[in-house]
Amino acid sequence: QVRLVESGGGLVQPGGSPRLSCAASGFTFSVYGMSWYRQAPGKEREPVASITITGSSTNYADSVKGRLTISRDNAKNTVYLQMNSLKPEDTAVYYCARKVVGSSDYWGQGTQVTVSS
């Protein structure tokens, strides 16, 4: 079955730079675009980044542009989210998702990122 397993979250200090990973299995990773979403306490889930099949194009939410970078390694069936200059308002559960036309069809369990001093 399709599995997306996020890792790399935890408690980080403001300004920290963790890298989140999403290990994919159960499908042909290299023919799907991938996305990262996040859900902050009391907020709706929002997309933060997406990447095309080959990684040739990326998109970011305005709130994270310039601070978060999505990438993928098709040989490792893994998508990454490099986070820089983290702020307390970045605190959220971060999810990776498999893209389909106009949406996403599978999400991982999520990994908690808490930005606090």
Predicted confidence pLDDT, tens digits, the chain (117 residues):
999 999 999 999 999 999 999 999 999 999 999 999 999 999 999 999 999 999 999 999 999 999 999 999 999 999 999 999 999 999 999 999 999 988 899 999 999 999 999
Output the six-digit token pair for 43. 């907020």
Helix spans in 17-107 (H): none
- Tally helices (H) and strands (E) across the chain: 0, 11
pLDDT reported for residue 57: 97
